[in-house]
Amino acid sequence: MNQLFYTVINYLDIVGIALLIITLIPLRKLMHELPHGSIRKLWQILSGMILFFIATYIVIALQFRTQNDFSSKEIVCIVLFLGSLFVFLVCILSLQTARDIKRIYTLEIENITDPLMSISNRRHLDQKLEEEFSKAARYGLAFSILMIDIDRFKNVNDTYGHDTGDIVLKKLGILINALIRETDTVARHGGEEMMLLCPLTDGHHAAWLAERLRCEIEKCVMVSSDMEKEGREILVTVSIGVAEFSSDVFCVTDLVKRADEAMYQAKGEGRNRVCVYGNSPYITETYS
């Protein structure tokens, strides 16, 4: 029995080395799973420490294999083996945790994102709208919303087909996302209608942003001639209604209704323009 124990101890360091070498596989996969940022940098530092531990382990293990003092070798081999086992389990669990977090994050993004336009969906819009409205009402902060509707979008679907219409919607979502601030939220309100939430933004600056969006959308080719079977470029325009939170707005529904009315005013006055609730059509002369 003792002989078996001594044999196991004698090869325990070799098992530890094998475990540490195997650890490099999940460690490498973990580095690919982690997003760029502070967590990835910390794991890079930890990976360096693990590699140092592996090198040190091998040196010590080989050194003690040449010693005849079995009592000290026994203790060191057991300690080093437990250390290698700990490192191995930490890497395996970390890799699984990173994958689980990534999967949960992906599901959360899919749950709040419109699959066609790649912007927020109506569910997320309603939630964010309530949050931002509550902040503005509670702390007296500026808050504006933009209601954006594509002009004569039905004609695009009827003339070029729904597949082309989907391309237009997707391109429009990407374009608007590229033009707004990180603090803003653009979401699909329904059909070809979108809403943009602008926290800490008064009506004047919201109208300036709306006009900038209108101009950029007007000159952007949504579908190029080589993509369209009839060989024609497709451009669209939008009508935008702007509504600003004020003391006489008592609920989210009132604010949305004002933006909606302003948007229909823009459509009624010829489309491809910006209207602010309560004001005449607002067209800014310059923007950056």
Helix or strand or coil: residue 113?
Answer: strand
* Residue 3: both structure tokens together: 């002989």
Q: How far is Cα 184 from Cα 201, in angstroms, rounded to an integer?
A: 10
Q: How far is Cα 236 from Cα 23, in angstroms, rounded to an integer?
A: 55
Helix or strand or coil: residue 275?
Answer: strand
C-alpha count within 13 angstroms, C-beta hemisphere, residue 148: 28
Write the CB contacts of 21 (distance below 8 Å, at least 6 apart in sequence).
54
- Look up tokens 């650890």; give the residue: 23
Bridge partners (DSSP) of residue 193 are: 149, 190
The answer to whether 192 is a known catalytic residue is yes
Write the CB contacts of 249 (distance below 8 Å, at least 6 apart in sequence).
255, 258
CA nearest neighbour of 61 among 83, 35, 36? 83
- Look up tokens 């409205």; give the residue: 133
Bridge partners (DSSP) of residue 277 are: none
C-alpha count within 13 angstroms, C-beta hemisphere, residue 58: 10
- Residue of 132, 192, 211, 244 marked catalytic: 192
Helix or strand or coil: residue 142?
Answer: coil
Write the CB contacts of 56 (distance below 8 Å, at least 6 apart in sequence).
none
Q: Which residues are catalytic?
A: 192
